[in-house]
Structure 1
Amino acid sequence: MSKAAHVTPLQRVSVAEAAAWHHVVAASTAHDLPGVPTPDPGQIHAQLTQPALGSRRLTWLATAAEGAPVGVAALRVFTSPGQEHLAELELHVDPAHRRLGTGSLLLSTVLAACLTEDRRSLIAAAAADSPGEAFSERWGFRRALTLDHLILGLDEQPEADLLQIADTAPAGYRLARWTGTVPDELADAFAAAKNAMNDMPVGDLDYGSVAWDADRVRAMAKVIADRGDTLLTTAAVHDDGTMAGYTEILLPQGSGPRAQQYDTAVVPVHRGHCLGLWVKAAMVRQLRAEHPGVVEVETDNADDNVHMLAVNHRLGFRSYRRTHEFQLDLPAT
């Protein structure tokens, strides 16, 4: 293990520390995920300084002998009922400083924190066939889920096809749209629909479950707004007032060209009416009309989520990379 790297826990992240973090993440992303946009410095600063929903974050910075940043680690400690056993790892090492023990030093520090926090499951993501995958396996993480990442070029879906899908409302349903916080009159219905995500495929991950209510969906929107991002939601509302399904798109701060798909879900009793395809097509149409600076959307699906993969392929999404979710089962304290 290298003695050159020194690990420092970050308490209140300063502008300089956020810049150092961004330096490491940018170098790591460019090396391991060519073609994947690097978060800009403002996004990194917001991620490190703004509260997260249902969790808190512990962070560490590794520096070389001369003080240069060479690695970072973050531990997301989940606090919501149903997930108090869980923590999530993010770890990056500058490619120029790998194979020197920095990653192992950071992970050892994180594992000690997991014991202090009484966690039994640590999850982490790594691109398929990447150094992160090999590192995870070397440390005893087991592969628990594979995600297929897909990209949609917003100019690739023929307009006529998109209009036909978006304009064909299933009988008994109407669209609702909002930016940011859900309207008060839809908050309870939206929270009920959010709970449909608890049956999404998670492979062998010990992910737990989250109970959504109106307060939690409002808190989620506030977290996103406070870090400078924009959340767009399109929902299918049944004639009886229940929310049957929805899709969410995140526009990262800085108005970059790539939007991120957040949740898409259809409530079980409303499945079989092509609602997922309908709301996603309506969202794509909205992005084209109202956000011309966005040229593509990225999403990911579990590789066994056959239905949602079919919906995305129907809309023109194409697979472009894969990620493995790993889990390390921690000893009980």
Structure 2
Amino acid sequence: MSEHVHLTPLRGSISVTDAAAWHQVVAASMAHDLPGVPPPSPGQIHAQLTKPTLDSHRLTWLAAGADGVPVGVAGLRLFTSRGRDHLAELELHVDPSHRRNGSGSQLLSAVVEACRTEDRRSLIVEAAADSPGEAFCERWSFRRALSLDHLILHLDKLDEAEILRVAGAVHPGYRLTSWTGTVPDDLSKAFAAAKNAMNDMPVGDLDYGTVDWDAERVRAMAQVIADRGDTLLTIAAVHDDGTMAGYTEILLPQGAPSRAQQYDTAVVPAHRGHGLGLWIKAAMVRRLPAEYPGVTEIETDNAEDNVHMLAVNRELGFRSYRRTREFQLDIPRA
């Protein structure tokens, strides 16, 4: 059965009312499909909808029923940097009480048309494994491109002696350094070079493009995160020759979150095989509760075929708790 649904593209200045409606739909959707995963707060949603993104811009739609009640939302991130300007990334939620009534299909139709208008050939979206979202993707002929294992580390259940041993280990020729927010100027070029090591991470069959990092881009990324009210923590291993051998990043969402999100962890190819990934991640596990005692958990995700990083995370005490899948829709030119 279908119901009358009105789609409103949200353009220009997004109101607090629109952001609240968006949050209402996302919270209901996540409570149904992702029990145990904290939904973003109203403030996070407002920042997501109103603050600039890095090398991209966003299109958004709000679906409401005949009575004006919000029933679904869609956000389309259009990447603009060279190497990714063929790509769009979708977030789509429908309130569980309004599913199977055509709302999601109407939203996706608008999204696909926008992709054609913007000359995008690849649309990617993430859905929880074995969820209604996965069934929706398959019904619309998305192909499964990547499987992700999500893991949680409970900081109150750590083997503290083992973490201290690993974090305190001596790695001749390397030293640890850390910062909050923007990378220090004297490390910015080395950090950008290390960031490019992420381009060889396993992505399955996903057409995710490539990113070219330089000092300006790493600073811009940190500013985007700060502008939306989040906090970025970084620990890096620096070689005696001044190159950055590896790094790990943790994101703390605005407010007082109990769960931190792992961002990138990478070791530059020339420095792999020395245990640096485990070392820098153990150092971060020690740093986080010392500086932010309200944080009790860290969530990370890894491609299921990224056996090395999965092994590192499990050695630290991360345990699997859910799976997601990345889907891709190839969009023919109009």
For the superposition of Structure 1 and Structure 2, which TM-score range results when normalised by the shorter chain?
over 0.9
- Aligned ranges 1:89-104 → 2 under 5 Å: 89-104=90-105
The 1-side partners of 2:104 and 2:20 are apart by: 19
Residue aligning to 2:259: 258
Structure 2 residues without counterparts, runs of 5 or longer: none
- Aligned ranges 1:226-265 → 2 under 5 Å: 226-265=227-266
The 1-side partners of 2:170 and 2:147 are apart by: 33
Cα offset for 1:169?
2.7
Residue aligning to 1:205: 206
Residue aligning to 1:174: 175
- Aligned ranges 1:234-313 → 2 under 5 Å: 234-313=235-314
Cα offset for 1:3?
4.5
Q: Secondary structure at the match of 2:157?
A: coil
Counterpart of 1:204, as a letter, is D
Counterpart of 2:235, as a letter, is T
Counterpart of 1:266, as a letter, is V
Are the counterparts in 2 of residues 169 and 278 from structure 1 also a CA contact under 8 Å? no
The 2-side partners of 1:103 and 1:159 are apart by: 46
Q: 1:42-96 CA distances to partner (integer Å, 9 max, x unpaired)?
A: 0000000000111100000000101110000000000011001000010000000
Structure 1 residues without counterparts, runs of 5 or longer: none
Are the counterparts in 2 of residues 21 and 69 from structure 1 also a CA contact under 8 Å? yes
Q: 1:147-204 CA distances to partner (integer Å, 9 max, x unpaired)?
A: 0000000122211101000000311100010000000000000000000000000000
Q: What TM-score results when the alignment is normalised by the length of structure 2? A: 0.99
Residue aligning to 2:120: 119
Residue aligning to 2:19: 18
Q: Secondary structure at the match of 2:298?
A: strand
Q: What TM-score results when the alignment is normalised by the length of structure 1? A: 0.99
Residue aligning to 1:78: 79
Q: Secondary structure at the match of 1:155?
A: helix
Cα offset for 1:2?
3.0
Q: Secondary structure at the match of 1:110?
A: helix
Residue aligning to 1:6: 6
Are the counterparts in 2 of residues 2 and 100 from structure 1 also a CA contact under 8 Å? yes
- Aligned ranges 1:92-171 → 2 under 5 Å: 92-171=93-172
How many residue pairs match? The answer is 333
Q: Percent identity?
A: 76
The 2-side partners of 1:172 and 1:288 are apart by: 28
Q: 1:275-313 CA distances to partner (integer Å, 9 max, x unpaired)?
A: 000000000000121110000000000000000000000
The 2-side partners of 1:15 and 1:170 are apart by: 51
Q: Secondary structure at the match of 1:331?
A: coil
